[in-house]
């Protein structure tokens, strides 16, 4: 039996999906399930979203796409955000995966295999409107506008782009990207479009187009940034059991490099997880965990397999070997604990290791 349990509430994820669907009204809602659904389990979550009639699933790589196709069958579209390469083009065709084409070279590769297989191949185009990571740049887009033969042999299903600051509603860059996207789309009047990520859904109907692609919001992360309350449900609970208790006198050192020294008689509990389980070393001597609603501070360095917490002030009846401790949950959501170490909830979720017992409720 595992001493650490990661619970994922599928009902909460489905409720988040329905909320986003209601906001978008007329747009189709897909789901970003890349990086194993942000660390929470792409297979289980995709199957749950299928019950909500989700039919567009976005993964990062062909490997993720193949695994998902094997798990959830052939009745959905699986989109590969990294696009297509020479080494995996045949695999994309075999497993009916749709590449998001990010540059002219990828378009050329997909055309090559269209000719090889003597069949029209589906694809999405990704236009870079300002995030400047991947995507067709302005010069490449102009080439497509002026020479449609560059798209011969392809079934162009959607044109997509990605917002750089969607969680910041007052950022004028959102409107700048929207206008640039609209300017490009007028040259492709019969192609569907997709711009909104989680935050983009909350920017208003102008950003919704035909398909929205939420990720973070499905998993309970705040799509509205730090300044507004989170409308999404938290589906994640991480618990660990107390495996050791010790009473320490004042001036006792705790953990590697003696970074914490007790100032009083203290009761210290040890929990069986650490940075090997995705709990950052940055939480050393900062952050809290919860036992029956009471908080206990983390003391000493987070090590590979252990953290220590000070339970001196908690009710004695609540402190015993085997007692469950909430590490992530409604008291300490991924967003909240991320702020402690100056990161984002995405990193907290995607860092979760594989040693937990996973329970889907």
Cβ atoms within 10 A of the Cβ of 97, count?
A: 23
- The strand ranges marked E within 176-301 are 192-194, 211-212, 236-241, 244-248, 253-254, 260-261, 266-271, 288-291, 294-299
Residues pairing with 299 in the sheet:
308
Active site residue 256: yes
40 CA to centre of own chain: 9
Spot the catalytic one: 70, 119, 226, 256. 256
- Token readout for 355 is 């040693």
Residues counted in the chain: 361
Q: Judge contact between 306 and 272, C-beta under 8 A.
A: yes
Residue with token string 């300017």: 183
- Token readout for 275 is 């940075």
Q: How far apart are CA 201 and CA 29, in angstroms?
A: 10
Task: From 191, 196, 189, 200, select the one nearest 211 (Cα to Cα).
Answer: 196
Spot the catalytic one: 14, 34, 239, 288. 34
Task: Enumerate the active-site residues.
Answer: 34, 256
């Amino acid at each position: 039996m595992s001493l650490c349990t990661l619970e994922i509430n599928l009902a909460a994820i489905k409720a988040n999906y329905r909320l986003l669907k209601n906001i978008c009204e007329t747009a189709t809602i897909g789901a970003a399930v890349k990086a194993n659904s942000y660390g929470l389990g792409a297979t289980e979550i995709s199957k749950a979203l299928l019950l909500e009639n989700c039919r567009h699933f976005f993964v990062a790589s062909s490997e993720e796409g193949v695994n998902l196709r094997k798990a959830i069958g052939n009745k959905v579209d699986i989109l590969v955000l990294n696009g297509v390469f020479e080494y995996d083009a045949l695999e994309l065709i075999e497993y009916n995966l749709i590449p998001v084409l990010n540059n002219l070279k990828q378009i050329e590769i997909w055309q090559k295999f269209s000719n090889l297989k003597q069949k029209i191949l589906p694809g999405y185009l990704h236009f870079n409107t300002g995030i400047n990571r991947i995507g067709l740049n302005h010069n490449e887009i102009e080439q497509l506008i002026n020479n449609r033969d560059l798209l011969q042999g392809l079934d162009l299903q959607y044109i997509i782009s990605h917002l750089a600051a969607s969680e910041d509603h007052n950022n004028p860059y959102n409107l700048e990207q929207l206008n640039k996207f609209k300017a490009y789309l007028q040259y492709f009047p019969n192609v569907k479009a997709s711009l909104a990520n989680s935050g983009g859904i909350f920017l208003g109907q102008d950003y919704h187009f035909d398909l929205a692609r939420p990720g973070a919001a499905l998993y309970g992360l705040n799509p509205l940034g730090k300044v507004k309350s989170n409308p999404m449900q938290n589906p994640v609970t991480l618990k660990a059991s107390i495996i050791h208790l010790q009473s320490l006198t004042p001036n006792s050192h705790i953990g590697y490099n003696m970074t914490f020294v007790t100032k009083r008689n203290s009761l210290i509990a040890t929990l069986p997880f650490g940075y090997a389980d995705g709990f950052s070393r940055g939480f050393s001597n900062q952050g809290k965990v919860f036992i029956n609603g009471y908080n206990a501070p983390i003391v000493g360095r987070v090590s590979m397999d252990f953290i220590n917490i000070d339970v001196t002030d908690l009710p004695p009846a609540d402190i015993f070997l085997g007692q469950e401790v909430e590490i992530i949950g409604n008291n300490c959501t991924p967003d909240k604990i991320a702020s402690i170490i100056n990161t984002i909830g995405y990193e907290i979720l995607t860092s979760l290791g594989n040693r937990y017992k996973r329970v889907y409720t």
